[in-house]
Amino acid sequence: MKEFDLIRNYFTEQIVKRKDVFLGIGDDCALLTPPERQYLAVTTDTLVAGVHFPENTPAKAVGHKAVAVNLSDLAAMGAEPCWISVALTIPEADEDWVGEFCQGMFELCEYYNVQLVGGDTTQGPLSITITAQGTVPYDKQITRSGAKTGDWLYVTGEIGDAALALQHYYQQIELPEDVLALVQKQLDYPVPCVLVGQALRGYASSAIDLSDGLLADLRHLCESSNVGVNLVLDQLPISNALYDSLGAEKAIELALQGGDDYQLLFTVSEDNKVGMETALADIGETITCIGQLNLSGKITTTLNSQPTQINAKGFEHFDSDQ
């Protein structure tokens, strides 16, 4: 199938038709009409087979994850997702694969009312690049640089399960089928915290999404805000599956360094704690307080109220040791 046939048969069949899309797929550019007094939030992520997802990942999961990781970035800014464009590089025009890929992509887009407005298709090693755009009201944006000394550190959901699934894939551990099914879902079908990000407007002082591992992303937040933090390791939200599979010490280490969680890590002042907790309870979100910021400029850790050393760094692009 030729490129334009592929686009016409698969990428123009989306249900979502937003009113703010004046011109979508089919021309040299899309024409969009952002609302007044809103910032335009823009993010781009590339997923490469064998690097960001296992080679044998189902096409539907690849489509879902490619969208999810971009919506997660928008969520960390408190933005409402609106539009995406997709650059898809595939080895061959496999109609079954492309159809399943689009199904995974469009199901998530439909859930969050996001419209595909353009992109490109080329032949080559499998990779997907998505640019996602959203809107956030003036002065309601959440950035990495707003945290203050004394703020409390929170994380949504549970962390480490996706990394456990990768350990099974790379034959570092053998998981029972029921446990594998549970953690594989976290790896292949992450749920971006879109509603959480919007609920945090006006409460959170800073936020970042967890893509490269809690420790690595926490360092980014601390460096941007010029703060330190004491991280309470026994408060990390780790699933029973992860604890039972690895034991407490290795489970904590994997939760710190494993990526692909796509939860939100955020800070909130003492004055805003109650309002924030109420706002997130109203949307049914589970959150955990895992530390407090300080002036040290360093990440220190305690376990059972005792200082402890950690040996984890998180995923780093272009690291020869990875």
234 is in an annotated binding site: no
Pick from 127, 148, 130: which is nearest to 73 by CA? 130
5 is in an annotated binding site: no
Rounded CA separation 85/130 (Å): 6
120 is in an annotated binding site: yes
149 is in an annotated binding site: no
Instruction: Please state the φ and ψ torsions of residue 268, each to the nearest 5 degrees.
Output: -150, 145
212 is in an annotated binding site: yes
Rounded CA separation 69/209 (Å): 9
44 is in an annotated binding site: yes
315 is in an annotated binding site: yes
Helix 177-188 × helix 59-76 angle, to 10°: 60
217 is in an annotated binding site: no
Residue 8 per-residue DSSP state:
I
CA dist 124 → 44, 91, 95, 96, 131 (Å): 20, 5, 16, 17, 20
Rounded CA separation 195/112 (Å): 9
Rounded CA separation 26/33 (Å): 17
Pick from 266, 249, 243, 222: which is nearest to 304 by CA? 249
Pick from 74, 81, 1, 78: which is nearest to 34 by CA? 81
144 is in an annotated binding site: yes
282 is in an annotated binding site: no
168 is in an annotated binding site: no
CA dist 93 → 2, 67, 90, 125 (Å): 8, 21, 7, 12
73 is in an annotated binding site: yes
Contact between 190 and 62 under an 8 Å Cβ cutoff? The reply is no
Alpha-helical (H) ranges within the chain are: 3-6, 59-76, 95-111, 161-169, 177-188, 194-199, 214-225, 240-246, 248-257, 273-282
28 is in an annotated binding site: yes
CA dist 96 → 1, 2, 71, 101, 228 (Å): 12, 15, 26, 9, 49
- The binding site for Mg(2+) consists of 28, 43-45, 73, 120, 209, 212
- The binding site for substrate consists of 52, 260, 315
- The binding site consists of 28, 43-45, 52, 73, 119-120, 144, 209, 211-212, 260, 315
- The binding site for ATP consists of 119-120, 144, 211
